């Protein structure tokens, strides 16, 4: 493997780590929002008397 290929594979590998993390965070957030919408969850309202 040439030096250029080695550098490119290292860049691709290090770029994959944050990409997978961010994609996972977005996926879990979207799934949670969908579940909350389907279940009809509403915000808690504080009634101060």
Number of other CB atoms surrounding residue 19 within 10 Å: 10
The per-residue pLDDT for range 10-47, each reduced to its tens digit, is: 999 999 999 999 999 999 999 999 999 999 888 788 77
Domain extents for the chain?
1-38
45, 44, 47, 25: which is closest to 36 by C-alpha? Answer: 44
The per-residue pLDDT for range 1-16, each reduced to its tens digit, is: 899 999 999 999 999 9
HEC sequence for 1-49: CCHHHHHHHHHHHHHHHHHHHHHHHHHHHHHHHHHHHHHCCCCCCCCCC
Torsion of CA 33, 34, 37, 41, to 10 degrees: -50
pLDDT at res. 26: 98
pLDDT at res. 38: 93
pLDDT at res. 2: 94
pLDDT at res. 49: 63
pLDDT at res. 9: 93
């Amino acid at each position: 493997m040439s030096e250029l290929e080695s550098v490119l594979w290292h860049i691709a590998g290090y770029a994959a780590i944050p990409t997978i993390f961010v994609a996972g965070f977005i996926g879990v957030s979207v799934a949670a929002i969908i579940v909350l919408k389907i279940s009809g969850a509403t915000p808690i309202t504080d009634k101060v008397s």
